[in-house]
Structure 1
Amino acid sequence: MRKFLASIAVSLLITGCTFPGVHKIDIPQGNVVTQEMVDQLKPGMTRNQVRYIMGTPLVTDTFSPDRWDYIYSQQKGGEERTQKNLSLFFSDNSLQRISGDYRPGGAAQ
């Protein structure tokens, strides 16, 4: 009887996180980037102006200091993880080009 109860207790502990109705948390990571933030970016802006709008980039490459990468991933309550990227390219301390999953003016489209 004791072995039976112990095996039930162990199986409940192992499967404890898979019971239906158990709350699973959202896991956001990286820089939060919104379309409204990207819409404010204009070519020719200085690095300080871009940093004011976007915040400090998550990734700054020491071999390519004129490129800033903003990476945001989120996993909502046990669903698949989604990730969005935004890369900003500078030349002579001014914003030249934007690439990634966001486009300026995308909110109006």
Structure 2
Amino acid sequence: MRFSKYLIVATLTTVFLSGCSFFEYIIYRPDINQGNYMTETETSKLQVGQTKQQVLYIMGTPMLKSAFGDNVWYYVLRENPHHGHVNQTTYTLTFNNSDVLIDIKSDTLPHN
């Protein structure tokens, strides 16, 4: 009888000391998306040779512009699902001096 009391106390102590990690998947966490919301449809419309106005129409306002001029635009989408890994996609668009798109680069960060 005495052993069962210690077993119950030890079990309850373990549950309480584990904190919220025991209930982690029961607790609701919203998806957190930050940056430029980009879909596959929008990014597939990007083509070398488009003007800045055309890119603005397709993608919207860039998240960042180059500090050394207005010829490099960065579109960043960071997705943090409620119980998953963080995903980050970055599009780097480079324009020439005539405001024509000359390069499109896409980078995806690996999962943390």
Q: TM-score, normalised by structure 2?
A: 0.71
Partner of 1:47: 52
Contact 1:84/1:101 (8 A) holds in 2: yes
Moved over 4 A (4+): none
Contact 1:31/1:72 (8 A) holds in 2: yes
Q: Percent identity?
A: 31
Alignment gaps of 5+ in structure 2: 1-15
CA RMSD of aligned residues (A): 2.3
Is the radius of gyration larger for structure 1 or structure 2?
2
Q: TM-score, normalised by structure 1?
A: 0.72
Tell me: higher relative CO, structure 1 or 2? Use CA pairs within 8 A at least 6 residues apart. 1
Partner of 1:8: none
Q: CA deviation at 1:17?
A: 7.5
Alignment gaps of 5+ in structure 1: 1-10, 103-109
Q: CA deviation at 1:87?
A: 0.5
* Alignment coverage as a number of residue pairs: 92
Q: CA deviation at 1:24?
A: 1.0
